[in-house]
Amino acid sequence: MRQSQWEAPSKILNYDTLNNYKWVSDFLSLTKLERELREVRREKDRVATLLLSREDYFKRIKLSHNAIEKRRQEGLVGILAEYRQYDDPCQFFQQRIRDPVNHWMDPIPSLDEFKRAVDALPEGKISAKDREKQLATLEKKIVSLDSKLKKLRSDETVKLAKTFVQRWRHAQRQICSACNPFGISLDQCSQRERSAWKDLGIDKYLSETAPYLAHPGQQKGSQELKKTKSMGKKSSILSEGIRLSRAKDEKPGQGYIAANG
């Protein structure tokens, strides 16, 4: 399994603004409110499509039927006024048969026919009054949530955090152990960053079958570098000690001869 590439903080967008993680609480509030708003809107859509009781449904049909009849009557008055001077005032209707354009003149079922049809339907789920009441309550919730969200969304840091969190989720999906946004093992990170990992739900994106190992980070690299430098220093001291010891055992001029052949 390959080790992930470590990315410097400078490569993570707006890390210098977000690395204190003080925005986590507001970001979580924003996420919660957005989720709640989606749920309330779905509920409003559901209530709006509930089938009305047969009684209330027929009341609406009656209102619609009366409106159509009124338009038909007004239209008929206009037509008769236009054809009043002709010997055959009803020729308009003969013309419609040849060229049916004005469909508003087509006959519709009577109210009695509508009533018999509605009575044959299954009973509805809710009365018109209750449905309107529920819709009004849900609309108030939507307005309230929108107001709270507007305040949070205006916070520039919270705006930046959305992309930052998405970047962290993406990194965690690729790595088989807990990591920070740069792919560094969370064990090497601050307590503040470890808490943010849990609070932001990054743990949900962790998969033990992911293709990469977390990077050990700079801490391990620094320790290895320090160890290498220390070993180099000891080696230099030892070499100098051997040189001095050899010089002590050499006869005068031997070193010169050895050095110059």
Cβ atoms 152, 21 nearer than 8 A:
no
**172 has pLDDT over 90:** yes
Task: Please tell me the distance from the alpha carbon of residue 36 to that of residue 30, in angstroms, as a whole number.
Answer: 10
- Kindly report, residue by residue over 7-24, the tens digit of the pLDDT: 555 556 677 889 899 999
- Kindly report, residue by residue over 81-128, the tens digit of the pLDDT: 887 887 887 777 766 655 555 566 677 899 999 999 999 999 999 999
Task: Please tell me the distance from the alpha carbon of residue 35 to that of residue 3, in angstroms, as a whole number.
Answer: 36
